[in-house]
């Protein structure tokens, strides 16, 4: 690839049903569930903005209006906070989107899979490289976010970059699983990929290196998605289009990012993330620890 691999657009496929969080997700999109005081979508948006993205594309359906409302200006609320002199809160409410960052909402009217959701963003993204973030995967970092690390790799290697981490073999059926090219570059953040397969059974999985919900993709992925037929689960899989890029000799790298990933698409992941972020919050740390110690003592004594 000769042109620089600049990433300025991030796509958030957020049209999923969120059945694991019913009944809450009847009215609250799962991306709006909070970890401490911010919804999952805000963590993902912050990570994209930190990585240099200035256009955020949300692929939504008719039940996800709350996401558009969240990023919109809340005049009445802001006015009330202003006259009450609650400047800190006002600043928090206004900082959901920094200046210079714009949101675009695209509708995915049929639930035809992650690949189809990404394809819906094509008219906004065009042919440029872009990022995809799945907000269910919350990645905690003390320093640079996972996407910023991946953007640096994409710019350096001029190729697509997929976030990966090791999972237990019995879990391969929940993830895209990658194979690495033999003799490929040995840098942990840019492992040349030779194949990717969606949700293989443990016995068939080519490795235990699993895709986490962060991707930097060449604009060529859209042609590949256009040609992709339904795969695992009868859905148009992003994984299958990435496999097509690899088969077409396009550079695709797996990136072992620095950070801890919490799968907030399930209940226990959300509990883990909440504890982690509470312990990292200066105002909550001491009381959270005290509470956890008390709970542990109760359970051990029971």
Residues that bind ligand G1P (CB under 6 A): 114, 134, 137, 175-176, 198, 210-213, 238-239, 265
CA distance 194 to 207: 12
User: Which is nearer to ligand G1P, 30 or 122 (by Cβ)?
Assistant: 30
User: Which is nearer to ligand G1P, 39 or 176 (by Cβ)?
Assistant: 176
User: Which is nearer to ligand G1P, 137 or 157 (by Cβ)?
Assistant: 137
CA distance 95 to 73: 10
Backbone angles phi, psi at 282, to 5 degrees: -55, -35
CB of 83 to ligand G1P, least distance (A): 44
Task: Please answer whether residues 121 and 206 qualify as being in contact, where contact means their C-beta atoms are separated by less than 8 angstroms.
Answer: no
Task: Please answer whether residues 230 and 209 qualify as being in contact, where contact means their C-beta atoms are separated by less than 8 angstroms.
Answer: no
CB of 118 to ligand G1P, least distance (A): 10
CB of 237 to ligand G1P, least distance (A): 6
The CA-based dihedral angle spanning residues 247, 252, 255, 261, taken in that order and rounded to the nearest 10 degrees: -70
User: Which is nearer to ligand G1P, 53 or 177 (by Cβ)?
Assistant: 177
What is residue 96's three-state secondary structure? coil
273: which 2 tokens? 């993330």
CB of 133 to ligand G1P, least distance (A): 10
CB of 239 to ligand G1P, least distance (A): 5
Name the residue number minimizing CB distance to ligand G1P: 176
Q: Is the peptide bond before 170 cis (omega within 30 degrees of 0)?
A: no
User: Which is nearer to ligand G1P, 145 or 176 (by Cβ)?
Assistant: 176
């Amino acid at each position: 690839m000769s042109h620089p691999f600049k990433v300025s657009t991030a796509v958030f496929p957020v049209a999923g049903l969120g059945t694991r969080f019913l009944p809450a997700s009847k009215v609250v999109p799962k991306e709006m569930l909070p970890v401490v005081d911010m919804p999952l979508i805000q963590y993902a948006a912050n990570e994209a903005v930190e990585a240099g993205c200035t256009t955020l594309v949300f692929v939504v359906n008719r039940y996800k209006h709350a996401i558009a409302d969240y990023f919109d200006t809340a005049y009445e609320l802001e006015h009330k906070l202003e006259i009450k002199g609650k400047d800190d809160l006002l600043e928090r409410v206004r900082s959901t989107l920094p200046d210079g960052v714009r949101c675009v909402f695209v509708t995915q009217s049929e639930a035809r899979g992650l690949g189809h959701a990404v394809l819906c963003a094509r008219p906004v993204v065009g042919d440029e490289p872009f990022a995809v973030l799945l907000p269910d995967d919350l990645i905690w970092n003390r320093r640079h976010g996972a996407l910023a690390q991946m953007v640096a790799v994409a710019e350096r290697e001029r190729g697509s970059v997929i976030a990966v981490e090791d999972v237990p073999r019995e879990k391969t059926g929940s993830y895209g699983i990658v194979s690495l090219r033999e003799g490929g570059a040995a840098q942990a953040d840019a492992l040349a990929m030779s194949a990717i397969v969606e949700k293989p059974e443990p016995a068939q999985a080519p490795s235990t290196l699993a895709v986490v919900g962060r991707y930097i993709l060449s604009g060529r992925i859209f042609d590949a998605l256009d040609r992709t037929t339904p795969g695992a689960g009868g859905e148009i899989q992003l994984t299958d289009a990435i496999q097509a890029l690899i088969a077409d000799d396009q550079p695709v790298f797996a990136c072992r990012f620095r950070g801890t990933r919490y799968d907030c698409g399930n209940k226990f992941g959300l509990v883990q993330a909440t504890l982690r972020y509470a312990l990292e919050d200066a105002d909550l740390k001491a009381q959270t620890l005290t509470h956890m110690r008390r709970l542990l003592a109760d359970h051990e004594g029971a």
